[in-house]
Amino acid sequence: MPVLPISRMGAQVLRDRAVEVDLADPTLPALLSSMVETMDAAHGIGLAAPQVGVGKRVVIFFVPGARNDGVDIPVTAMLNPVIEPLGSEQAEDWEACLSVPGLTGRVPRWTAIRYTFQDLNGQTHVREAQGFHARVVQHEFDHLDGMLYPMRMTNMASLAFGDVLQAEAKARGQVIELDEEGIVPE
């Protein structure tokens, strides 16, 4: 399966609402395996189908244990996901996006969510998530509704090029760790 080109901010497919997928859609297995390859090649931890030019409600993601209290969430493919917040608490943290390369900014998200999705076999899964896990799912889900993280920011003052933040921190004798999702929290 090929590595696919990643759509960048401005592309219409990233603005449109993606459509529900039919589990019998014969293109789904090939789409999912291409998405996994594309995500790996870009060192991402999540990818939504609109980011590879496909306007369908399909998302893949994983969460490394180091950012989830030691619990690895393996690569998960979600079809037609639905999210509901658990409680009203939100928190801000750094995010970045393969469709907005180079930039990073602080984004408020629900701290705890319940999410529901179907897998390729038609099975429905219901999970609860907190913290970074909840953040990744909300970020990827937003791609299905035409939302990119800068549209969620309430204070644009933190929007920055990651390498500039890193270089200035280095000049001050500090270290900022960056990954594809933005600044790695301490």
Tell me the closest approach of the beta carbon of residue 98 to Ni ion, in angstroms.
Answer: 6
CB nearer Ni ion, residue 31 or residue 97: 97
Q: Is 14 in the site for Ni ion (CB under 5 A)?
A: no
CA 71 to chain centre: 18
Cα torsion 57, 98, 180, 91: sign: negative
CB nearer Ni ion, residue 147 or residue 169: 147
> Which residue of 28, 52, 79, 97 would you call a contact of Ni ion, by CB under 5 A?
97
* Chain position whose Cβ is nearest to Ni ion: 97
**Catalytic-labelled residue, pool 37, 89, 128, 140:** 140
Known catalytic membership, residue 140: yes
Tell me the closest approach of the beta carbon of residue 93 to Ni ion, in angstroms.
Answer: 14
CA 57 to chain centre: 13
Strands (E), 23-166: 46-48, 58-63, 73-85, 90-95, 103-110, 112-118, 124-130, 160-161
Residues that bind Ni ion (CB under 5 A): 97
Q: What are the catalytic residues?
A: 140
